[in-house]
Amino acid sequence: KAIRCDSRGNVLIVDTENHAIRRLDASTGIVETVAGGRRGPDGDGGDALEAGLARPHGIVTDSRDAMYIADSENHRVRLVR
């Protein structure tokens, strides 16, 4: 549902239907999951790959590449550093 670039030119992809955030590495072309990957509301404060997301719909990054994820069905904004 959303695509953004981080400060290194990598592409962040919001994979809404699979409850995940993917990153396309600008230098290698490799796509990897960087947050979520399963449906759920849990995981705050833990590893980003262990966190549950529920139909994320948007993402922005700050100057340090922290990701703010609009986690729509959990009704919250999630922060991943």
Mind listing the pLDDT tens digit for each residue in 65-78? 999 999 999 999 99
CATH code of domain 2-80:
2.40.10.500
Q: Which residues neighbour 67 within 8 Å (Cβ) at sequence distance 6 or greater?
A: 12, 21, 34, 35, 59, 60, 61, 79, 80, 81
Please give the pLDDT value at position 60.
96
**Residue 51 main-chain phi, psi, to 5 deg:** -75, 140
Percent of the chain whose pLDDT exceeds 70: 100
pLDDT band at 29 (very low <50, low <70, confident <90, very high): very high
Give the residue among 70, 69, 72 at the shortest CA–CA distance from 80.
Answer: 69
Instruction: Give the Cβ contact number of residue 12 at 10 Å.
Output: 21
Model confidence, pTM = 0.93
End-to-end Cα, the chain, rounded Å: 21
